[in-house]
Structure 1
């Protein structure tokens, strides 16, 4: 009887161990620490724009649901302070785009509450002055996406009465816009764009109310778009190919780049999101980071300064926000 009991116990243990998967054995450490920083000094708002020049970030425009703003503010990471700069000289607007190239900031497109816009303006931080530049080369629109690659700006997607998927390059040296090949995915608005090295990335957004799951990279040297892993649940018999990125699709998120990694946080998909994800382009993989410590929101701004990412503003329901948060992406979360 003792021998039979011993054999039964051994068999039970063997079956239990055999049923364990990699995921059961592994403890996944989620890294990243969010810290509240100096509150934005302008009025609370959503749908603003941001860009960075050197070690400073610039944030402005947006709406509180009634007024459309023209004020612009500079954030200094070293002193953790905001300073008001020259007002944007165009009409107040929200859902515009902003990018930086060759030490200057560029802001344009958007919506003033009545009209879709296509004017573009350059900001020079050394003189604190704005200069009107060539109008955006595509149709007047809002809720587009923008990025900078190798000193040139790129603007595309958005809404001009219909969702769009066209892409345009801006050359600051010649003040000209040139249409570039469109990516292979659906039209969309509320998309996210960023560049890592000499490659641009376009992802997220919604088409006809449906969150998009595709990711595309753009090589300006060849003018070719390449599709990457979809943001879905993928189950393969080979465990190394299993992944679940189904929580990532959203629109109107914040994004920034630190080193060779891209980050996406917040936004909306069946409610406001608080999660944050890190993209590794070398492996084409996403890793979840510590969830955002503030209120879930949509239409925030995101930017990076040095080895830190920042998220500010946005709206949570009918509440407009004016807080600023900093992410140390590799810090241990206690």
Structure 2
């Protein structure tokens, strides 16, 4: 004999199927962001390069193809969608270095040359197209660190010097001096990402002893305090218990007043992209990256667009560049 559910139970089941998804309530129609291919990087394909922006242009260089450690540097002009080669980096070729800009100059240092961890630092003047060696990084030689700039000063922290690190240092271009600041508020790590919003530095994600991280922290230089924020998770809806999205060797950039995180690895390589709104302390999923999944890419934000490229897909080094219009709706 057949048994039938009461009418009210059938209604409840339908409602639950429609709205009780434990993973993500974001529908395809809700996800914004349009990716489009841009002019390929004109240097050789590579991963673990560095990038920074000065004015309305981006600068990309260093990295490795698995054998060579590069010293070439290139300028990208989004207005003309073209690359122009600039003066070679004067230090030894390297990868997993850091780069940031401050006061109209670019700064590059630390990294790994295939045999040695490094702590030398250099300044790039885009007007003179010239590099100048500056004071060595104040901490230990390392690779896989992060760097950012706040109010004309540079900051560098975390990374790997034989052990994962959590120290944090400030660089003053006016005095060419490094000063140690309060250590990062989270666990030691390498392969993290960082960006600057509202005169605060954000340091997030990465790995420590094989564990992938999803935590997010900000540093306020005015009171030298670290504050923990909402983890990178797959929804902004507080009514559901959504999963954290840990990853390392990803990339991050800023468009307008929001930060973005894309790609990376958490056991498998990823194409997902998320937007962080500091005013609400929330994460919003964006359209997945338009290219192949990868680790160790570069990225930068210019105007109202974000750019992501290069990197490592399995054993393949890449030389592509992609642009995202983060607030446009896909067709």
Q: TM-score range by the shorter chain?
A: over 0.9
SS across alignment from 1:332: coil
Map 1:1-334 onto structure 2 (within 5 A): 11=8, 14-15=11-12, 19=16, 27=27, 29-231=30-232, 240-246=238-244, 248-334=245-331
CA contact under 8 A between 1:234 and 1:243: conserved in structure 2? no
Contact 1:205 1:211 in 2 (8 A): yes
Q: Take 2:101 and 2:26, find their aligned partners in 1: how far apart are those partners?
A: 42
Q: In structure 1, list runs of 5 or more residues that go unmatched.
A: 1-7
CA shift, 1:183, in A, is: 2.1
Deviations along 1:182-241, one digit per CA (max 9) or x if unpaired, are 122110000011110211101000000100122111000000000112346899xxx744
TM-score w.r.t. the length of structure 1 is 0.92
Give the whole-Å Cα distance in 1 for the aligned partners of 2:129 and 2:226: 37
- Inter-partner Cα distance in structure 2 for 1:152 and 1:37: 31
1:139/1:170 Cα in 2 relative to 1: closer, same or farther (>3 Å)? same
- For the structure 1 residues 133 and 331, does the alpha-carbon distance in structure 2 shift closer, same or farther, using more than 3 Å as the test? same
Q: Name the CA shift for 1:12/1:261 in 2 (closer, same or farther; >3 Å).
A: same
In 2 relative to 1, CA 200–142 (structure 1 residues): closer, same or farther, beyond 3 Å?
same
Q: Conserved in 2, the CA contact under 8 Å of 1:30 and 1:290?
A: yes
- Distance across 1 between alignment mates of 2:310 and 2:300: 12
- In structure 1, what is the Cα distance between the partners aligned to 2:233 and 2:302? 31
Rounded Cα–Cα distance in structure 1 between residues aligned with 2:77 and 2:306 = 13
- Helix, strand or coil: the match of 1:330? coil
Inter-partner Cα distance in structure 2 for 1:249 and 1:26 = 19
Q: 1:149 to 1:243 in 2, by over 3 A?
A: farther
| Deviation (angstroms), 1:67 | 0.3
Any gaps of 5 or more consecutive residues in structure 2?
1-5
Name the count of aligned residue pairs.
Answer: 323
SS of the counterpart of 1:106? Answer: strand
Counterpart-to-counterpart distance in 1, 2:168 and 2:318: 31
Give SS of 2:33's match.
strand
Q: CA deviation at 1:254?
A: 1.2
Alpha-carbon distance in 1 for matches of 2:105, 2:198: 19
For 1:100 and 1:241, how far apart are their aligned partners in 2?
40
Structure 2 CA distance for aligned equivalents of residues 154 and 75 of structure 1: 24
Q: 1:119 to 1:333 in 2, by over 3 A?
A: same
Q: TM-score, with normalisation over the residues of structure 2?
A: 0.93
Q: C-alpha distance in 2, partners of 1:26/1:211?
A: 24
